Structure 1
Amino acid sequence: MDIAEIPILSLEETPHALSAEIGATFRRYGFAMVRDHGIDHRLIDEAWRLTVEFFALPTEEKMRYFIPGTGGARGYTPFRTEIAKGAAEKDLKEFWHIGRGLPEGHLLAPTMPPNIWPDRPSGFRDVFTRLYAEFDRAGERILAAIALDLGLNEHWFASAIEDGNSVLRLLHYPPVSAEAGGAIRAGAHEDINLITLLLGAEEAGLELLGRDGRWLSVAPPEGALVVNIGDMLQRLTNHVLPSTTHRVRNPSGDRAAYSRYSMPFFLHLRSDFRFETLPQCVTAENPDCYPVSITADDYLQQRLREIGLKG
């Protein structure tokens, strides 16, 4: 398996210094790797410990936090529920979602349900509330660099993501058994959101689809974030920044007996954000693919139905 030669960028650079580098890697791969992201490694270590403890709980206990009909927006989603668009088999994973907390009566509350929290493990709510905020901050800094690369003001995304419907997902891929058949841990897909910030990709399995049709392994250094473009940013930029197909393949040999864990943060726009293709991304050679404007929540609900999380 060939490795994607994705450059490793530093968030300690200024947005202006980072913008050209991140723009180049996103245009080529739809992916970037980012170190010096500022998220406290002790907080990350504690989050990993709690993630492992939670998914080790009995299935009956975890199912207390599964809320049918919500599209998995908050709480627990059981093993083999989500399916990649167009796939024949459901993914070999279970997950937990943490969203943004909004004050009572907030304008966007109808599109963003309140969080639910498990009774155990102890400290779960505190740690993941803090980690969510850290991901939020890192995402804002990355978006500032993207804005500059697109010829926008570095604060252009600030109002677009204010109180946005971002989701922190705790993912568990259990050991792969012979009964899996043709299913894999995560089928080939593109993310729905604006950008995704991912911790946990050091464990082999994450692959992106190269322009030549070959699957390339994504291998970040320990502790680095893998960042990728989602369909919402692809739509906004008229495909100038591509949402790249990726998957998590099954391990082979001895590694099949081990779980895999990861933490993607799906950074979303405000639910009421209305898509209008950026004018600088429309040319005679690249006409506007999206002349009809819809809201971010309309788009999200459509995609959730496609991946089996909503009926």
Structure 2
Amino acid sequence: MLDDYVMSVPPLSLALEGDHPADFAAAFGGSFERFGFAIITDHGIDPALIERAWALTKAFFEQPVAWKSQFHIPGKGGARGYTAFGTEIAKDATAHDLKEFWHVGRELPAGHIYRETMPDNLWPETPEGFRETFLELFSEFDRVGARLLSAIARYLDLPSSWFIDPVENGNSVLRLLHYPPISADTPGVRAGAHEDINLITLLLGAEEAGLELLDRDGHWLSIDPPKGALVVNVGDMLQRLTNHVLPSTTHRVVNPPVDRRGKARYSMPFFLHLRPDFEIRTLPGCVSAENPDRYPDSITADDYLFQRLREIGLLK
């Protein structure tokens, strides 16, 4: 367990998981329980693939809004394709976030049981290599996410394979995020204070200052990962599953200092989801006299997702 008085999220090497899985599980789960966040180095995603993904992300968002808007699908909550600047709003916020984004989802074969819930991806013809690069990156996030979930299972005294079935063909989403340059008097923030809906989130691109988590003492704590590291956080689905043993911590992306507001910010979060029909039920091992079950009624992952998408303005 991490010391309650640690004032920053310490980096953890995923290389430790290979040789010392119990030690890594203790450190990773401890970081989740203390902060709701962890920083993971040595994650094994090819740096060349990541650099290619950054270049393609920037090339896409540099296109005119009218061109990007052809990839917006009305009424689908931004599940695939393009969502314009100023659309998403944090739950209970009054100002929309200062961002635009693109979603890549899981590709499923024809006739698959989840096709109705998980629509086909959209793929722009330009920039070249967009589809191939982001399908490969999606697969890599899936792979790393599975290793991290195995460690969480160990931390919760479950079999290391416990999450394999719940996330098989899960409704995971890779988001390409662009926070455009803003003026010194722009109202609102790049991303308002919120919690993530999904199981866990794996984020690339947090080296650019701005990501903060709300710590236990009510103060905002900056996340400052080493270059290329993943920032990983608990989502509401995992918080619910663990009866808040692992907390879904409020976080935000604040505007940069005035002298850096002319600089765009890019990031790539991977929202790792449960399969749509998985029943989220409180894990018995996370219930005690001191921590009674907050969620006696179960809910499917799909129903929970749609409920939350309505709260943040992506579904009406």
Give the TM-score category using the shorter length: over 0.9
The amino acid of 1:245's aligned partner reads T
Matching of residue 124 in structure 1 with residue 130 in structure 2? yes
The amino acid of 1:239's aligned partner reads H
* Post-superposition offset of 1:163: 0.2
- Which secondary structure state, in structure 2, belongs to the residue aligned with residue 111 of structure 1? coil
- Pairs within 5 Å for 1:117-156: 117-156=123-162
Look up the match of 1:281.
286
- Pairs within 5 Å for 1:44-193: 44-178=50-184, 180-181=186-187, 183-193=188-198
After TM superposition, the structure 1 stretch with the greater mean CA deviation from structure 2, 14-23 or 271-280, is 14-23
Distance 1:42 1:274 in 2: 38
List runs of 5+ in structure 2 lacking aligned partners: 1-5
Q: What's the TM-score, normalizing by structure 2?
A: 0.96
* Post-superposition offset of 1:178: 4.6
Deviations 1:7-40 (A, max 9, x none): 2111112332211001111111000000110100
* Post-superposition offset of 1:110: 1.2
Distance 1:66 1:179 in 2: 29
Look up the match of 1:30.
36
Matching of residue 39 in structure 1 with residue 42 in structure 2? no
Distance 2:155 2:275 in 1: 22
Look up the match of 1:197.
202
Deviations 1:129-174 (A, max 9, x none): 0000000000000000000000000000000000000000000000
Q: What's the TM-score, normalizing by structure 1?
A: 0.98
* Post-superposition offset of 1:67: 0.6
Across the aligned residues of Structure 1 and Structure 2, the Cα RMSD in angstroms comes to: 1.0
Tell me, yes or no, if the aligned pair for 1:207 and 1:246 is still in contact at 8 Å. Answer: yes
Deviations 1:197-248 (A, max 9, x none): 0000000000000101001100000000000000000000000000000000
Distance 2:35 2:184 in 1: 33
Tell me, yes or no, if the aligned pair for 1:196 and 1:229 is still in contact at 8 Å. Answer: yes
The amino acid of 1:286's aligned partner reads N
Look up the match of 1:244.
249
Distance 1:194 1:118 in 2: 29
Identity of aligned residues (%): 65
Match of 1:9 among 12, 29, 51: 12
* Post-superposition offset of 1:253: 2.2
Distance 2:35 2:128 in 1: 40
Look up the match of 1:220.
225
The amino acid of 1:287's aligned partner reads P
* Post-superposition offset of 1:176: 1.1
Match of 2:269 among 253, 259, 264: 264
